Structure 1
């Protein structure tokens, strides 16, 4: 990817992408059929994940799909060389950021071929990576993906617990944008039971009143669909979380919503742990498994069943890769 210019102001001046590598890459016009024969099932899954979730860091991909960070880096370098993936690194005020991977031109072509679609139908453009790198929502998107990749990867060590379903903001908008616009929708599975939930990842940039106004939409969704998922609100700091709890508790009680809150201060490495506080006075923080037991009346959101309008690109992507013996 060519080096990206650094703007004098705006989002790019604070979170500016540089070229991730100077490695020689294959021509984007290379034989896609020959390339496809070299791709593993895990590679194809990763292509779909990056189309669904837009950007994942090396750490997030390794967490989900590889036995070690080193094996992830080796395979990701190969996929980058083959133009299956693009990547960039944001400039940071201190230290260095990990590689941020996006869908590359060859990956978009392979994905379109598998879906029997024209590449233009993907919405992929040569400026795809640059738009993501300079997006003012990049930090927000990475926060959502960081939380949910940890939840999905938990099943590696605890097979009875983990994410059974994970829909991106874009997939949620495709299904429910006429009523709600959550940052994600997921199913936490534990011992055969589900905790269906919408996720709102709050970065502290919106006024409390605007966050409160969203609750009416979630209540309207419950009424209109006859389904009752939970709402998990994840903040950056416990200070912001406490301010939200004070503001939202009366409204949540009035609307009869099942809401729990937590913050990145608590959920850094094990967000399934006892960090989620139901939005009710006098409650204690619970694990997601305890919330599953406590809120047994919850039901999955409507609109998840495949329809004739679905294609291979609109069906949910499994949160973890297929169980195979992959090429490291």
Structure 2
């Protein structure tokens, strides 16, 4: 089955399944995923996942990289679009076709990106919601926007992502701040000002979710938040938790609640971007 990397897209089409297309779109939108993340979202057996990823790499649709561990061995494979995958997505979305050199440079830059860990952390948040919805028919991740897409739509905020999460008859919108512990918490808190400005302009009043690396950092953040009167609602949880469950501590709250129990007001999506259509999507 494996084809030469230089094979035409038309020759590759018979080998691309609907699940492959879903994976290509995920990588086009979110740039990089690990083997484990792809396995949990799209496959049942890890070995089946590994074999298929190898086949897609042989077709040139995917590329991969990984790093050495300090104590020996290697970190997991990181997967991204290969040249043929970038060509396929460009054709699907009416974008200019990339050159081989441009495709190679995009992978090289991604692998050397100092914010790679942060990107994977933000993606992991949405991966967990996707996996939860996979096994709970009453739940859905209706929207998963990357940092780039979120910034394009809302302009003045710098969220790490935006989503719409539904369970039974409730839909909650949210903005994600995925914290890896590299920023002073004072700077993290200051981000709330931009969300408050968005609300004042008539934008959505979505909770800002601070996903933190430890309970100690979460406690410290809440100490800094005491006495603040922000227009932007917020909630916190830590990385080991499942974001769909009752893990969210609201600002000034005394107990943990589920994601769908957080306050959420969709406001006027058109207020901050003139390119929205009535559904809230960009034209």
What TM-score comes out, normalization by structure 2 length?
0.89
Aligned position for 1:22? none
Tell me what 2:59 maps to.
82
Which whole-Å CA distance do the structure 2 matches of 1:209 and 1:165 have between them?
30
Question: Which residue among 265, 268, 272 is the counterpart of 1:298?
Answer: 265
- CA offset digits 1:40-79 (Å, max 9, x no partner): 1221121111111010011111111112212211111100
CA distance in 2, matches of 1:202, 1:300: 26
Question: How many positions carry a matched residue from both structures?
Answer: 276
Which structure 2 residues correspond to residues 46-85 of structure 1 after superposition, within 5 A?
Answer: 46-85=23-62
Q: Tell me if structure 2 keeps the 8 A contact 1:36–1:110.
A: no
Consecutive unaligned residues in structure 1, runs of 5 or more? 1-24, 317-328
Measured in 2, the distance between the counterparts of 1:202 and 1:102 equals 23
Q: Aligned equivalents of 2:17 and 2:81: distance in 1?
A: 16
1:254-300 alpha-carbon deviations (Å, 9 max, x no partner): 12321100111x41xx332222100115x111222333xxx2x5226
The answer to whether residue 195 in structure 2 is matched with residue 223 in structure 1 is: no
The equivalent residue for 2:117 is 139
RMSD: 2.6
Q: Name 1:213's counterpart in structure 2.
A: 190
Report the Cα distance in structure 1 between the residues aligned to 2:246 and 2:223, rounded to whole angstroms: 20
Greater relative contact order (Cα < 8 A, sep 6+): 1
Q: 1:39 to 1:307 in 2, by over 3 A?
A: farther
- CA-to-aligned-CA distance 1:11-53 (integer Å, 9 cap, x gap): xxxxxxxxxxxxxx75443111111232112211211111110
Could you tell me whether the CA contact under 8 Å between 1:108 and 1:124 is conserved in 2?
A: no
Matches for 1:103-142 after TM superposition, within 5 Å:
103-120=81-98, 125-142=103-120
Equivalent in the alignment of 1:99: 77
Q: Alignment partner of 1:125: what SS?
A: helix
In structure 2, distance between residues paired with 1:204 and 1:85: 31
2: distance between equivalents of 1:301 and 1:29?
Answer: 47
Distance 1:138 1:303, change over 3 A: farther
CA contact (8 A) 2:275 2:282 kept: no
SS, match of residue 90 in structure 1: coil
Distance in 2 (alpha carbons) for counterparts of 1:315 and 1:120: 24
List gaps (5 residues or longer) in structure 2: none
> How far did 1:303 drift?
5.1
State the TM-score, normalized to the length of structure 1.
0.77
